[in-house]
Structure 1
Amino acid sequence: MKKLVVALVTGAAVVAAALIPSGPPVEAATPGFASAVSAIKQSSWQTNNSVNALAIAGNTVYAGGLFTRIRQPGKVAGQGETVRTYIAAFDRTTGAPTSFAPTLNGPVYSIATSPDGKWVVIGGDFTTVNGIRRSKIAMFSVATGKLVAAWDPVVAARVKALAISGSSVYIGGAFRAIDGTTRNRLGAVRLLQGDLLPWNPNANNDVYALDVSDNGTRVFAGGPFSTINGASHYSLAMLNTTTGAAYDFPAAAAIPKPTVTCTTRVKDIDTLGDKVFVSNGGDGKGCYDGVLAAQVSTGKLLWKNNCLGATEAIKAIGNWVYKGSHAHDCSSSPNGFGDGTGTHYLLVESAIDGNLGPWYPSTDANPKSTTKVGPLAMAGTDTDLWVGGDFLHVNGTVQQGITRFTNAPGGAAPGVPKAPTLTATSAGRVYVKYNDVYDVDNLSLTYNVFRGSLSIGSNKYVSYYWQPRKSYQVMDRGLKRGSTYTYHVEVHDGRNIKKGPAVSVKIP
């Protein structure tokens, strides 16, 4: 029996093929979801205040921030709490806390783990750890959880950013000295000994973000600074790992220079292979808040996404860049959402071209927090993504401060399709009209239309949840006059199937 499929799109007509975004395929890499991790929130403990920093070593996730308590999954504030002062560690597999519980006297703003997984370094505003003097920075053994007694650099003010590569710990923040020697907002110490290195890029304002390229040849620094070693380098710099000299970095020109109405600065940096990804946040209406990608080896710009709403945190996994932001206008991106659609705190972009991808779980922002922006930190591997921030809920359920997503098969299910609208003709035809649905970790969904148990049409369409729902139509023919037929629609995302209600029609 021959079938005819007609697209009837609400509003302006759209050719179905045009709905497919450019960039990587949206087909599920793991059945049930289409990016590296699903949008399903996995079980994890919570915090009683903001998480500012995350890092992973082996099967342990370290979280630092403003919190002083952690609590069990699903519990509301004040219930099932355990003391953790500004730093905690969680099991990556279960989301439960480990026994790691140092006592700090001030917040943590940055965490880095050594590539060999043996050491974890934390930075922030604290001056003591377990009653022992530590000036804004401290190191712990991952194996034992103990403070490294002989490792004691003295940093003069807040440590906001950390990165470890080879035998060096790179430090960024608001300080003007390390160990009594001038180091303006950037400096480095040896990983095992903690003694000061000659690395001295000399930034003229605070540093918010640091990362080292995967090949260990470049340090990337970001923040509200405008010069490095006296030369102009606004908000983003690519530095020599030994001398601290700044390389020519053409991609940095994509960050607009400040004006009387607009200022933007780098908030986070993440490297993967020969790419470096940079997130920005602006002050002022319409200022640059998006993400850019550059090539490590050449420094050239690869792409730039211009979504509005400061991007506080990013993490690159495979061909995807996950972002924590308070994005409210991505109309500049293909198939993006316009202003007025709400705040989209968690999104993913293609690492290839920056276009929005198939992942949009939801959080909120704590209106009583100091930041009030939602997600603030990310860490992840090929199999999981951890998100920290000032949020109170994730996917509509209580989950404060920290959450995690994994690549466990299944993912979120599509929405349940509504009953189709049927139109029968005396020529033995039935026109079956149905609306699309959306899935929070898939864009491409398969719609199967059934007459009873017989499939009369199967088509794949792309939908984003912020778009108006679209309508499609299948024509069934060769039906007997006077007979009654029943139809329903099923939607498939690669693993999960949702069946809509059935409706019947009589052929006149």
Structure 2
Amino acid sequence: MLVALTTAATAAAVAIGASASAVSVQHAGLVGQDPVNWTPHALDGTAFKILAIGSRIYVGGSFTQIRPSNSSTVTTQRRLFAFNATTGAIDTTFKPVVDGTVRTLVAAPDGQSLYIGGDFTNVNGVRSRGVERISATTGASVSGFTVPEINGGVDELKLTGNRLLLGGRFQTVGGASRRGLAAVNAATGAADASVNLNLDGARTTASGATSAVKVTGMDVTPDGSKLVIMGNFSSVAGQTRHQIAVVSLATSPATLTAWTTTRYQQQCSNSFPTYMRAVEISADGTWFVAVTTGAKRTGSLCDTAARWDLVSQVANKQPVWANYTGGDTLLSVAVAGAAVYVGGHQRWLDNPNGSDSAGPGAVPAEGLGAINPVTGKAFTWNPGKDRGVGTEDIYPTTAGLWIASDTDTVHGEFHGRIAFFPLPAK
């Protein structure tokens, strides 16, 4: 167990800024496998998302109780809290009141506030369906920001220029049809009609399982020119797109690009109309990694992490590489320089020949794993984590790597829903 960060890492953590929401911090090497012991704990529910702004870390989820690492005192703080990025001390001045699960967080351009998204209907006693902007210091709602009525959950937020992009399970925004994908003005919250791609064609499995059209993951290139979306749809803007599409944000309105693949057309598990779970674009904007659930199916991309080229916008793309878990779900991904980190409730990576078992060459990666971004082969990095439903978020900072999940054991130690892996001292 690591007692404290190194001096260099501590200084780096303090310098964490509110960078563009589409860009992950890049590391020159792998983070350590032993998490620090000063992070606070969420004691119930799930931690879904982590965000760094200045010297604070913010955590959103479905939890209701938290406590410091060095105390047995339990505090009721529902669904969103903040703490010091280098000491873990819980910030008692940050006290938002949110009446439903917080699933996504994005720093606002001013560096003094953040956007939250999720399943809530009221924030700080005022109706706010699914999206709100709050003070990064107190958690109070920011005046002048009001979104239209959103008729379903918001699972993803991405900020690009003056647009706040929304992805999730909603079907309308302000009474207008916006199935799974929409935009609002980042300053006012007013509906932005420039993102209207008409997602359609909800998938149905052979057993009849289906759901409404939705976006389960999305990311924006660092230059803000392209948006990758994934989820339960079969067409976008009237054109066939099997669970994944690339949108040009350089045009107004936004338009569908020619990028296509049929590799996610195949059905996976009868339980999952869509098996797409998360996506992250590289820091140079030229490629991305998508992770999936879905169960073992030969020739499919079920239960994989796959790297895709984003430079050529053409049809019938094939992955640069695909790493198979052997039948276990992946829920989260972070493209962090030296490694692509993936999380879920997987037991192995490099396991194309395993089926709920370790096949030849399988690399242990319980709940967390790291993949070489060039070769697609797993590193032996394996902190060892209770699997549970899975690791919901992986968030790199200049000091190391944060994770959020629904379990409380990492590296054989108690870490309630949150853990931090520091970069090695130089």
TM-score category (smaller protein): 0.7 to 0.9
- 1:186 corresponds in structure 2 to 181
Q: Partners of 1:260 and 1:311 in 2: how far apart?
A: 14
Q: Partners of 1:341 and 1:322 in 2: how far apart?
A: 14
Of 235, 239, 242, the residue aligned with 1:234 is 242
User: How far apart are residue 408 of structure 1 and its match?
Assistant: 4.0
Q: Partners of 1:103 and 1:382 in 2: how far apart?
A: 30
Q: Partners of 1:47 and 1:191 in 2: how far apart?
A: 30
User: How far apart are residue 179 of structure 1 and its match?
Assistant: 1.8
- 2:210 corresponds in structure 1 to none
Residue 338 (structure 1) aligned with residue 358 (structure 2): yes
Of 82, 91, 95, the residue aligned with 1:89 is 82
Q: Partners of 1:91 and 1:61 in 2: how far apart?
A: 6
- 2:46 corresponds in structure 1 to 50
* Contact 1:36–1:382 (CA under 8 A) maintained in structure 2: no
Question: For residues 169-318 of structure 1, what are the structure 2 equivalents within 5 Å?
Answer: 169-198=164-193, 199-204=195-200, 205-241=213-249, 242-250=252-260, 252-258=261-267, 265-272=275-282, 273=284, 274-283=286-295, 288-299=302-313, 301-308=319-326, 309-318=328-337
Partner-residue secondary structure (3-state), 1:70: strand
- 2:113 corresponds in structure 1 to 119
Q: Partners of 1:260 and 1:50 in 2: how far apart?
A: 24
Q: Deviations over 1:254-279 (max 9, x none)?
A: 33522685855221111221222211
* Contact 2:65–2:78 (CA under 8 A) maintained in structure 1: yes
- 1:445 corresponds in structure 2 to none
- 1:355 corresponds in structure 2 to 377
Of 322, 331, 344, the residue aligned with 2:341 is 322
* Contact 2:219–2:280 (CA under 8 A) maintained in structure 1: yes
Could you tell me which runs of 5 or more consecutive residues in structure 1 were left unpaired when the two chains were aligned.
Answer: 1-28, 366-371, 411-508
Q: Partners of 1:260 and 1:406 in 2: how far apart?
A: 37
Percent identity, please.
Answer: 24
Residue 404 (structure 1) aligned with residue 420 (structure 2): yes
Could you tell me which runs of 5 or more consecutive residues in structure 2 were left unpaired when the two chains were aligned.
Answer: 1-25, 201-212
* Contact 1:331–1:338 (CA under 8 A) maintained in structure 2: no
- 1:364 corresponds in structure 2 to 386
Q: Deviations over 1:111-149 (max 9, x none)?
A: 222366343111111111111111111012335543112
* Contact 1:63–1:87 (CA under 8 A) maintained in structure 2: yes
Which structure's CA Rg is the greater one?
1
* Contact 2:307–2:321 (CA under 8 A) maintained in structure 1: yes
CA distance 1:236–1:59, change in 2 (3 Å): farther
TM-score, structure 2 normalization:
0.79
CA distance 1:114–1:353, change in 2 (3 Å): farther
Partner-residue secondary structure (3-state), 2:266: coil
Partner-residue secondary structure (3-state), 1:253: coil
Residue 374 (structure 1) aligned with residue 390 (structure 2): yes
Q: Partners of 2:384 and 2:55 in 1: how far apart?
A: 26
The structure where strand makes up a greater share of residues is 1
Residue 131 (structure 1) aligned with residue 131 (structure 2): no
Question: For residues 462-477 of structure 1, what are the structure 2 equivalents within 5 Å?
Answer: none
Q: Deviations over 1:285-322 (max 9, x none)?
A: 66611111223322554322222311101111112111
- 1:390 corresponds in structure 2 to 406
Partner-residue secondary structure (3-state), 2:165: strand
Q: Partners of 2:224 and 2:375 in 1: how far apart?
A: 25
CA distance 1:44–1:83, change in 2 (3 Å): same
CA distance 1:383–1:240, change in 2 (3 Å): same
TM-score, structure 1 normalization:
0.67
Partner-residue secondary structure (3-state), 2:262: helix
* Contact 2:47–2:406 (CA under 8 A) maintained in structure 1: yes
Q: Partners of 1:247 and 1:92 in 2: how far apart?
A: 40
* Contact 2:364–2:382 (CA under 8 A) maintained in structure 1: no
Give RMSD over aligned pairs: 2.8
Q: Deviations over 1:147-198 (max 9, x none)?
A: 1122111211100111111111000111111122221111001111111111
- 1:59 corresponds in structure 2 to 55
